[in-house]
Amino acid sequence: MGKAAKKSKVNKGSRSKAGSSHVRPAKALGQNFLIDEGVIDAIVEGSDITEETLVIEIGPGEGALTDRLAESAGRVVAVELDERLVKLLRVKFFSAENVEIIHGDILEVNLPEIIESNLKEYGLSEVRIVGNLPYYITTPIIMTLLEANTGAKSITAMMQKEVGDRLLAEPGSKLSGAITYAVHYRADVCKVVEAGSECFYPAPKVDSVVLRMDLLDEPAVKVDDEDFYFKTIKAGFIQRRKTLLNSLTTLEGFEKASIEKALNAAGIETNRRAESLTMQEFADLAGALKKELANERL
Ligand code: SAM
C-alpha cells in the first residue's frame, strides 16, 4: 500500500466524552461509536484519501469519522440506516458542502449508480470505501462491496478481530476460511490498526481491527466459472475438520468416486483439508470437478 499503515494497537488517543452521544445507541444496529481520536486518525491516514477522492462511508453513526474524512476527501457520501442518526447528521453537516448523507441500507443501495453520478458531478478521480462496520453484517457487507461493480480502489473497514484474522490469513494457512479465499480472490489485504473495546461507546464485548483491502485489477487466480469455484470452496469448508474427499460430497451431483478422480486430476491428495489448499489448487480442483461432471453426463 502507499502510505505506511499503522500496525500498533491504539487505545490511548484523546477521547471525546462518552456521554456526548445524542442518540441512544441501538445494539441491534451494531451501534458502537468510535470515541478514540487516535484510531480515527489511523483510519483516515491508512485510507490514502486525497482531495481527488470520493469516499463512500458505511454507517456514519454520529459522524465522528465522517468529520475527519471530509477534511481530507473531495467528497464524502455516507450511507446510514438509522433515521434518528440521519436527522442528526443532516443538521451536523448542514453547511459542509462536501458531505452528503443517504438514508438507506448499505446492502440495498445502488452503489455503482451513486458513485458514477458523484464522480461525474464533482470531477473526482477515484473512489475509496471506508467504514466502522455494523458487526452483525460484517461478512455480507464485505462480500457485497467486493462483488458490486464499484470501481473502488480500496475498502478500509473496522470489524471484529476474529473476522479480521480470517481475512488477513493467507489462503492455505490454518486460520483461513471460505471468506479468506473470497477476499483474497479480489483484493490484497493488510492491517491498518487494532482497537480495544475502550475505543468505542458503548464498549463492545470484542476487540476490533481495521483492515484495508486494495482491490485487484484482475482476480488473483484465473477460473472458468466463478460461481462453481466459490461453491467448491464453501463445500470444502462446510465441515473444516473433514477431508476434502468427504466434505465435497455436499456439492450437488457429486459422489465420492468422482470427487476422488477430480482430486487426483488436480494433483491433490485425497486426505487434505480445505484450509490447506492454495487459491490455485482450489481453482484446479473446481476445474477438475466440472470436467468430471461433464464426463458423467456424456
Ligand atoms: N461510523 C460511526 C463511528 O465510527 O462512530 C458508527 C459506526 S457503528 C459501528 C455502525 C453504524 O452503521 C451505525 O451508525 C449503524 O446505525 C449503521 N448501520 C447498521 N446497519 C446498517 C446498514 N445496513 N446500512 C447502513 N448503515 C448501517
* 85, 89, 132, best to mutate for ligand 1 pocket (most atoms within 8 Å of CB): 132
Residue minimizing CA distance to atom 18 of ligand 1: 59
Q: Write down the pLDDT at residue 175.
A: 94
Ligand 1 pocket residue status of 21, Cβ below 6 Å? no
Q: Write down the pLDDT at residue 16.
A: 46
Ligand 1 pocket residue status of 29, Cβ below 6 Å? yes
Residue minimizing CA distance to atom 19 of ligand 1: 29
Going from the first residue of the chain to its last (298 residues), give the mean pLDDT of each consecutive group of 10, the final group possibly shorter: 40 42 88 97 98 98 98 98 97 97 98 98 98 97 94 98 97 95 97 98 96 97 96 93 95 93 97 97 97 82
Q: What is the largest CA-CA distance in the chain?
A: 70
Classify residue 172 as left (phi > 0), alpha (psi -120 to 50) or beta: left
Residue that has been written with the C-alpha cell 477431508 in this structure: 243
Ligand 1 pocket residue status of 30, Cβ below 6 Å? yes
Atom of ligand 1 nearest to the CA of 64: 5
CB atoms under 10 Å from CB of 165, counted, come to 17
Q: Write down the pLDDT at residue 1.
A: 38
Q: Is the pTM of this model over 0.85?
A: yes
Residue 91 identity (one-letter amino acid): V
Q: Write down the pLDDT at residue 297.
A: 72
Q: Write down the pLDDT at residue 244.
A: 97
Strand partners, 56: 77, 129
Q: Write down the pLDDT at residue 18.
A: 41
